[in-house]
Amino acid sequence: MRRRRFIEGMAAVALGASSGVGSGSAGAAEPPAALLAWAQATSGRLPKLGRTDALLVLQNGQTVFERYGADHGPTTRHVSWSMAKSITHALVGVAVGQGKVDIDQPTQTLADSHPSLTLRHLLTMTDGLDWVDSRPNLIQSDNTRMLFGVGRANTAGYVATRHQIHPPGTHWNYSTGAYQMIAREISVRLFPQAKGPQAIQTAMAGWMRAGLFDPVGMTSAVMEFDPSGTFYAGSLAWATARDFGRFGELYRNDGVSSGRRILPEGWVKFARTPTVANIYGAGFWLEARHGRPEASLMGGAGPLDAFSAEGFHGQVILIVPSKALTVVRLGLTTGGWEELGAWLARIINGFPDSRTSA
């Protein structure tokens, strides 16, 4: 795709605040595809890509490439935006593994208004509620109104007022609101005795830390909460690039971290199984040659077993089991998702299949 001379020239440029992690192989050559991608990202040659603040590549659990943009580094916490949905999928999995949640039982918090809805419907965004996450005028978007407008004091309560316009399980519609309902539901199921916003927040934050973040080693991870005590399940998690990488590795390794099973058997398969839309499973985007209602991240240009956590402005945790890769990209891409997907595909395709690599 590019002459080797050009790649070697770009590799000689001093880039970013950090060039590796202690867990990587000492003296190992950095992958040319990642070096070239970082050079492209920081040179202005791909203007639609926007600003890239972090690029982290893990292969077989080892860091093979790590770079940061100006004013960022290994200890910088980055906002997840909608990558939080994937973290919420993991949190529900922890609760399922503890025997505290059944995702096929009707939700308690919507029993009066929507008695047939389950956590499975909400996790797969097939809830059928009247919801338009993003409109051309962002101020009128349901997500904006929930997070920053009339629904901000009680985000889940705002979503609960929506009418059912499709039978549950029959129609896919991207919905941050669905994930706010998940947050309220699991909070009620886990801590029914917690009364008041502060009590709910304290109980949930401690449970998240003990059940997911500490076992996976995500020491920087922080979830935000709304004024009612409901965590922002769809948008506002914070962590370092390395900790987002650890999260991706949890899913690449089928829910196991450091030899310990964190997520129940079959939970990662659930995340990767398409429902009504072939580009979405449960909490994760799937790779496909042809997407409906929209294209997948790499548009079929990368391995089809890839799946990803994705967030507003180009936050991505891309997991590729066939290549034993987890790639984390964090930054500010305002309108170039197609460019971003092609850029990531070039990185991924620069690595051999894990079954043929040494």
Q: What pLDDT does 21 receive?
A: 34
For the chain, where are the E strands, in sequence order? 51-59, 62-68, 78-79, 222-223, 237-239, 256-257, 260-261, 285-286, 307-311, 315-320, 325-332
**Is 78 within 8 Å of 240 (Cβ atoms)?**
yes
Give the homologous superfamily in CATH for domain 83-219.
DD-peptidase/beta-lactamase superfamily (3.40.710.10)
Confirm if 262 and 228 have CB atoms less than 8 A apart: no
Please state the φ and ψ torsions of residue 247, each to the nearest 5 degrees. Answer: -65, -45
Best CA proximity match to 74, nearest among 252, 310, 239, 309: 239
Please report, to the nearest 10 degrees, the dihedral formed by the alpha carbons of residues 250, 251, 254, 260 taken in order.
10
Contact call for residues 311 and 330 (beta carbons, < 8 A): no
Q: Between 1.20.1560.10, 3.40.710.10, 3.40.47.10, 3.40.50.620, what CATH number should domain 4-78+236-349 receive?
A: 3.40.710.10
Tokens of 316: 């991505």
Query: What DSSP designation does 212 have?
Result: I
Cα–Cα–Cα angle for 21, 343, 176, rounded to 5 degrees: 85
328 three-state secondary structure = strand
Predicted pLDDT of residue 25: 40
Is the whole-model pTM more than 0.85? yes
What is the per-residue pLDDT for 291? 67
**Residue 218 CB partners (closer than 8 Å, separation 6+):** 212, 239, 243, 246, 247
Would you kindly state where each structural domain of the chain is located, as residue ranges? 4-78+236-349, 83-219
Q: What is the rounded distance in angstroms from the CA atom of residue 78 to the CA atom of residue 74?
A: 10
Could you report the per-residue pLDDT of 167-218, keeping only the tens digit for each?
999 999 999 999 999 999 999 999 999 999 999 999 999 999 999 999 999 9
Tell me the torsion sign for CA atoms 205, 206, 210, 215.
positive
Given a cut of 70, the residues of the chain with pLDDT beneath it are 1-28, 291-293, 355-358
How far apart CA 179 and CA 86 sit, in angstroms, is: 10
Q: What are the backbone angles phi and psi of residue 111, rounded to the nearest 5°?
A: -60, -35
Torsion region of 236: left, alpha or beta (phi above 0 gives left; psi -120 to 50 gives alpha): beta
The predicted pLDDT at position 7 comes to 28
Please write the tens of the pLDDT for every residue from 287-329.
Answer: 988 766 678 999 999 999 999 999 999 999 999 999 999 999 9
Report the length, in residues, of the chain.
Answer: 358
Residue with tokens 């099973």: 261
State the CB neighbour count (10 A cutoff) for residue 163: 10
User: What single-letter DSSP state applies at residue 48?
Assistant: G
Alpha-carbon distance 247 to 241, whole Å? 10
* Spatial separation of the C-alpha atoms in residues 73 and 120, rounded to whole Å: 37
